[in-house]
Every structure is written in C-alpha cells, then in structure tokens.
Structure 1
Amino acid sequence: MALNPQFFRQADVDGIPGPARDLVGYGEHPPVVRWHNDAKVAIQVVVNYEEGSEKTFAMGDGVNDGMYELPFAVDDQRDLAVESMYEYGSRAGIWRLFRIFDHAAIPVTFFAAAVALERNPDVATKLARRGDEAAGHGYRWSNHYEMTKDEEREAIKRAIASIEHTTGNRPSGWYCREMSVNTRDLVVEEGGFLYDSDTYNEDLPYWTRVADRNHLVVPYSLVVNDARYILGTGYGSPEQFFETAKATLDRLRNDGDDVGRMMSIGLHPRISGNPARADALARFIAYAQEFDDVAFMRRVDIATCFAAQVPAPNDASLDEVERGLRS
C-alpha cells in the first residue's frame, strides 16, 4: 500500500495569519556562545510586575482577573479577595524580592505592565536605581489576542511612553500577555526594540526575519515559573520550585556538549513575594552563585551578548543590527 508523503510532511497552510512555524531550529549543532565572565549558563530572572494593571471591576473591565490562590471566583461584581491578593504583590511582595536581589547583588529584568508602574512609582524608581531592565509587558496586563491590530499598536505605543516616563528609559524588549498573530509584526514595525520574548521554543536566542528585517528573539519559559504554585499542574511547595530550578541548572551546566545556554526564572511579586516561596528563590540564587560558569544577566544583556557572537544574517556587526532595529 502506497503512503501519501503528505502524511509525513505537511507544510503550514498559506494565508493563515502570523509567523510560520519552525520545528527545526538549531538542530544538532547550536551555536557555541559564552556569557558574562565566560559563563556557560546565563540565568535570567524575570519579575512579571502586573499588580494594579490586571482586569478588575474597579477599573471598569466588568470582570475579575484570575491567577488566585484558591479555585474560587466571584462573578458579576468586584472580587475583593482577588484584588487584595494582587495588592499584596505591590505592597509587600515586591519589596521582599528586591531585598533578595540586593543581598545577592544580581540584576533582573522586569516584564513591566506600564499601568502597574504608574500606580506604584516607587517600584519604577527602585528598579531604575538598581539598573534593572524594564521590558514592555503591555500597557495593562491584557490579552493581546483580544485586540484588533490597531488597538494592539496603540497599546504598545502607550506602554513605551509610560515606561519611559516612570523609569527614565524606553523598553528594549517586549513580552505581552498572550500575544496575537500580529504582535511580532507590530514590535518590528515600531522599530525601537532590540528583541521580543513572546515564545517558549528554545534555550538560546535566535534570529528571525520579519518584514525583510532581522529580528532577535530571546525565548522565555514557563517551567521554572512561580505561576505553577497556583495552577493545577504546578508546585505543591517551595521545595519543589527549588528542586526544579536546581535540576534545570545542573543539566544546563552538564548538557552533554559545550554549548552555552540560558535559563529563565519567572516570578510574580504576589506569588514569590510570599515568605516561604521567596526563601526557596533565595536559596536557589545562593546555590547558583557557587559556580564560576554561571552568570545572572538581564534579558537585554543576553540579547546584546548573543548578537555580538552570532550576528544577524548579512549583518557585519552588532552596531549595524541595533541601527537597523532603530531606523
């Protein structure tokens, strides 16, 4: 019986919006890169700062946001329990995380929802003073796939202006809540971003082509991510977070080849800002700092470090890449 070759090899359907899928990537031979201080593993701590920008009746959304500690929901009116959990992140949790970062002397990247920084400007001042990166995480913490293309374009524009106002620097990176098929096109169209992180498909940055322009992607991860404390397929205790983070780092340091890779850790002040969970984070940071081949880096520094070693196709230098992205 003859088999249809399309059964084994099927291309994406023409005319479907959004980027083409790439199921091959680097394959067996990724580029060999090294990070700051010749490190083999770059640990990238991300603080998803969203508190005060989430969907609430109080802000006129007519709905309460999720990611709550318990599987309860209040419909058709304000849910003060959910609102107060988010408030914990901006009132207490973020400052506990800052104390941990200060003690360990590590830089972090904020995926910053612009309105959240507007509503707690002391956080914007603190992260700017520390030299942390504020990457764009939307104007509000809203699903971009729910927006029209024009609405999303406007949301990106407003987020840039707001973050630049509160922190003193425009964002160089972008990661929104649930991207749309238009997100990457709009990020490249805007012209001022060095990278986006709206993907989960690699352990290394990579170049892609958007509208005849080179564009750098610095992937994110939802594995070592504290959202799993309150989701059904997640961590039952801080020890499980620590064990997952430790096993991830151990494998990346000894992954069977000489390739340097990145490790993403995702945090939310309302979740990891709680004492027991913060303790697991602090213990992992201390563990990672025992190794000479590990570096803690901001996401923007991973982007520039990678681009210097693996230039964009047909680009001679990182300076040309950055000029092109900002032209």
Structure 2
Amino acid sequence: MEKFDTKFDRYPFSAIPTRPVYDWPNGTRLAVYFALNVEAFEFGRNPGADFTSMPSAPYHRGYAYRDYGNRVGIWRILDLFNNFNVPLAILNNASVYDVCPEILVPFRERGDEFVGHGMTNSERQAEMEEAQERKMLAAVRDRMIAEEGKPPTGWLGPFISQSPKTPELLLENGYTYMMDWFFDEQPQWFRTDRGPIMAVPYPSMEMNDIPAIINRGASDDEFTKIVLDGFDQQLEDSAKYPLVCAVSLHTFLMGQPHRARQLRRILAHMTAHRDRVWFATPGQIADHVAGLPEGVVAKP
C-alpha cells in the first residue's frame, strides 16, 4: 500500500470569526453559485451507483441513467435557470465535446463559466501516475481553449478525486483555483510547491444532489429542505462575515420531472432575496478574493 506523509501543511488553521471582513462586489456578504455537472461516461466502465442494486458489468443501467441527463434532464435545468436569470458554473468533462457538443451551446451563449472536470467521469485522478495526470490536465485545458476560446481557470476532479500532486499540477497547467477541497465557507489560499492556489468552497458532501439523494437516501423534499435551510442559515450568518453558498446539481438527477419542480422551489426562494446576495460563478468569486488587499485572506 502506498504511504503518504501524514504531516499536513497545505493551509493554516483559521477560525472564521477571527478573520478580516469584506464584501462581495455588489455590497452583499453572501455569494451564491450553482454548479451543474455535465458529464460523459465510457460504456462498460462503472459510472457510479444507482437507486436499485449494486451495479455489475456492463453497467448499462448506470450508463443509460446518466445519458438521460444529457438527452433530456439538462434542458429542463436550462429552462429554469433562464427563467430565474441565475448564472451557472458548467463542470464540464472534455469528452462531452465529442459525445454531445450541442448540449453546451446554450450555456456558452448564456455566458456561463466552463470549469475543467476531467476528460470523462469514468476515471479518477487518485489512481493516475503523475505523468498521466499531467497529460490529462493539459489535454482538458487545450480542448477547452479550442472549443471556448480561452482556458479554464477552475477545476473539479471527477469523483472529487486528487492525487498527492494534483494542486501542483493544476498550477503548472494554468488553473488558478480548485473546488476539490471543502474545508471552509470562504475561499482560502492553498499551499503548493509552485505557489498558492485558491480553494473555492464546493458542496462535496452536503448541498450536493448525489451524496444527499443517492448515498444518504434523502427524499426530494428533504434535499430541497437541506438546500433552503442551508441558504437561510448562511444568509443570516452573512451579517457577520462573507460566505459562499454553493449548490451542486447533476443533470440526470435534478433534470428528472419531479425534481425539476423541487429545483424551481429552490430558485424561487433564493431569488426572492436577490437584493441580499450575489449570484455569481466560482471563477468570479475566486477573482474577487484574489484581488483583495494583501493579508485579507491569509496565504500559507
């Protein structure tokens, strides 16, 4: 078994009440972003759990379930975010450009942020050798430059997976922030051997439809309550200090007809407080924090 250094020095401990207070660009203290995972899978490789039983090869149920998200579910989600005029972060597998590129067009036209999210969701960075991971990160960056006209600045690994050298390799390949580390409700600088990289809060285990609905078995109503209670609590807490409220969605889950109704309730509730929040993208959030005066957000 591979052994890792147990000494951790990637970021310093800091209690949130002790930090300097700052505002978001519109003068509010709560930044809200929605991350939409737009993914492609390789048939015959396990795409992850479903609601029935443990999957087995060739994993056709899981593959079809997730393909439904790109064929049908994503369009319901698009309509809702258009209706409520809320931006999205598109966490984009680069292989989507090969499999179903047309699903990305309306989000590009909306001006949504495209975030690097691996080549496919059938592989994990933690299982890669360093050279393989470096090549993959560069390939995703280059494909997104070719398709979007600019490189992605943000990254979320498929399965929220990292190797010991992922932060260094991200900086090496031009990424300036990552979303794999959820240890705070404010963006924080994260140490690497190549200099600091921004860690933007991402709901890897909480306000994220997959762990809530599939892994923990939350009902649709319960997931909506999780998101709205979290938003309301953070909105109250933001009177004291700036916070990031992040919600992670997957096309094959929230694009289902019954859950689209739940997503409508979430967006209606949040946008009713539009004067008290900043609807943004993680890249905008990272850029704002990176531009704060030196020392407002401590660097390791």
Using structure 1 for the length normalisation, give the TM-score: 0.82
Q: Which runs of 4+ in 1 moved over 6 A?
A: 312-315
**C-alpha deviation, 1:139, in angstroms:** 1.4
Corresponding residue number in structure 2 for 1:29: 18
Q: Distance in 1 between the 2:8 and 2:137 partners? A: 19
CA distance in 1, matches of 2:126, 2:156: 13
1:118–1:166 contact (8 Å) kept in structure 2: no
How far did 1:33 drift?
Answer: 2.4
Give the counterpart letter for 1:92 in structure 2: V
Q: Cα distance 1:175–1:311, how it changes in 2: closer, same or farther (>3 A)?
A: farther
Taking structure 1 as reference, are residues 195 and 80 closer, same or farther at Cα in structure 2, changes over 3 Å only? same
CA contact (8 A) 1:110 1:133 kept: yes
**Equivalent residue number for residue 289 of structure 1:** 271
Task: Compare 33-42 and 294-303 and name the one that shifted more.
Answer: 33-42
| Residue 34 of structure 1: how far off its partner (Å) | 1.8
Segments of structure 1 that go 5 or more residues without pairing to the other structure are: 1-13, 58-62, 316-327
Tell me if the contact between 2:145 and 2:152 (Cα under 8 Å) persists in the aligned partners: yes
Q: Which runs of 5+ in 2 are unaligned?
A: none
Structure 1 residue 67 displacement after superposition: 2.9
Aligned pair 1:40/2:29, yes or no? Answer: yes
| 1:119 counterpart letter in structure 2 | V
Cα deviation digits, residues 196-228 of structure 1 (max 9, x gap): 111010101011332252321112112111103
Q: Which has the larger radius of gyration?
A: 1
Question: How many residue pairs are counted as aligned between the two chains?
Answer: 291
CA gap 1:18/1:176 in 2 versus in 1, 3 angstroms: farther
**SS of alignment partner, residue 32 of structure 2:** strand
1:308 corresponds to which residue?
291
SS of the residue corresponding to residue 99 of structure 1 reads helix
Q: Does 1:182 align with 2:165?
A: yes
Q: In 2, are the aligned partners of 1:175 and 1:196 still within 8 Å (CA)?
A: yes
Instruction: Summarize the alignment of residues 199-278 of structure 1 with structure 2, pairs less than 5 Å apart.
Output: 199-221=181-203, 222-228=205-211, 230-236=213-219, 238-255=220-237, 258-278=240-260
Residues 143 and 176 in structure 1, CA contact (< 8 A), matched pair in contact too: yes
Q: Does 1:119 align with 2:99?
A: yes
Within the alignment, does 1:91 sit opposite 2:91 as a pair? Answer: no
Write the distance in 2 (CA, Å) between the matches of 1:259 and 1:232. 32
Matched letter for residue 32 of structure 2:
I
Q: Is the 8 A contact 2:20 2:297 kept in 1?
A: no
Q: 1:113-162 deviations in whole A, cap 9, x for unaligned?
A: 11023311112222111101111011122210010000000010111112
Instruction: Rate the CA distance shift 1:27–1:38 in 2: closer, same or farther, 3 A.
Output: closer
Query: Cα RMSD between the aligned structures?
Result: 2.4
Contact between 1:229 and 1:235, CA under 8 Å: does it hold in 2?
yes
Aligned residue for 2:227, secondary structure, equals: helix
Q: CA deviation at 1:38?
A: 1.4
Q: Aligned pair 1:198/2:180, yes or no? A: yes
| SS of residue paired to 2:181 | coil
Superposition map of 1:4-19 within 5 A: 16=5
Deviation at 1:260, TM superposition (A): 1.3
Give the match for residue 56 of structure 1: 43
Q: Which amino acid aligns with 1:290?
A: A
> Which of 46, 53, 65 is matched with 2:47 structurally?
65
Q: Could you tell me how far apart the structure 2 residues matched to 1:220 and 1:234 are?
A: 20
Residues 1-46 of structure 1 show CA distances to partners (whole Å, capped at 9, x for unaligned) of: xxxxxxxxxxxxx972896354723443133222242122111100
Partners of 1:131 and 1:217 lie apart in 2 by 23
Name the amino acid aligned to 2:72: A
- The reply on whether 1:164 has 2:153 as its aligned counterpart is no
Letter in 1 for 2:43: T
Letter in 1 for 2:233: R
